[in-house]
Copies of this chain bind each other. A is one copy, B any other.
Amino acid sequence: MITSNPHSMHTFDEAIALRVSERQDVAHEFIGATHPAYANMVGPFGGTTAAQLLQSAMLHPERLGEPVALTVNFAAPVAEGDIRFVARPVRTNRSTQHWIIEAHQTANATQGVVATATAVFAVRRETWSDVEAVMPANLPAPDAVPRMPVTGLPAFPQRYDMRFIEGAFPTDFDEQEQRHSRSTLWVRDEPERALDFASLAALSDSFFPRIFIRRRRRAMIGTVSLTTYFHADSPLLAQVGTRHVLGVAKALNYRHGYFDQTGELWSPEGQLLASTHQLVYFKD
């Protein structure tokens, strides 16, 4: 059930909810599940899996500070149903903490490890700060850009309000190869939801695979590794609130079955909230 009633649970919170496992042989195991509202073409949207992996460290009783780096490796197709998460703090220093996280499925065809992650958490202090990357300038406000139509798309893109300024997902695979794959868009959860680390992790995987923008033809694809650096801390996330953030994405190199793409997520005021990189398998 999807609703914009602010007093009920947001669908994204349902999708990333974890409960404590009752197994005695594994410390701090959590159980989550795939959510039909975040289904992709095949299996769940990787962004929710990334957010679940992060949550399993966020909710761990030994957690220190806030996430600064997250790498998720998608090891196997995730089947519908329960997913077991075990996050281990392998090293805790005075102001940083290092995690290894594993996601398992047991009751289906992809039995075994379906995803792994490493994360770095940190207690931050104020320092000299500056943005060196360049946010696109002179952009229309979100209200001035139409929302991408989502009719006929899988469930996951229907959970986002995406307003493309450049590089929209092709409505027609006409095989007209483009010069580049750059996209610029305003994006937020639909219905709106205050930005937090979990949703920022999911947004990092919400950029469509660049090969579709570039080649405008069908291809089998699958992200194999996703890295996100969180530049935002809690106060900055709170400043953004439920507003749209600006997403920018582009590909770097396509070669022999793999390509990489890089993305930035900006606050409306021009703070870089996260930079994100991924390596994607493709079969043409």
Contacts and interface: CB of A to CB of B under 8 A. Distances in A.
A144 interface: no
Interface residues of A, number: 63
Contacts of A283: 127
Contacts of A264: 252
A182 B93 CA distance: 31
B252 A132 contact: yes
Nearest to A276: B277
Interface residue SS majority, chain A: strand
Interface in A25-77: 68-69, 71, 73, 75-76
A117 B127 CA distance: 28
A75 B100 contact: no
Contacts of A125: 256-257
* Residue of A76, A116, A256 with most chain B CB atoms under a 10 A cut-off: A256
Contacts of A255: 127, 129, 231, 271-272
A100 B229 CA distance: 20
B98 A113 contact: yes
Interface in A230-284: 231, 233, 250-258, 260, 262, 264, 271-272, 275, 277, 279, 281-284
Given A132-B210, A225-B227, A229-B260, 16 more contacts: A68-B258, A69-B73, A69-B279, A90-B116, A120-B224, A122-B281, A124-B256, A127-B254, A130-B253, A130-B254, A131-B254, A231-B260, A253-B272, A262-B262, A262-B275, A275-B277
Interface of A: 68-69, 71, 73, 75-76, 90-91, 93, 96, 98, 100, 102, 112-114, 116-118, 120, 122, 124-133, 180-181, 210, 214-215, 224-225, 227, 229, 231, 233, 250-258, 260, 262, 264, 271-272, 275, 277, 279, 281-284
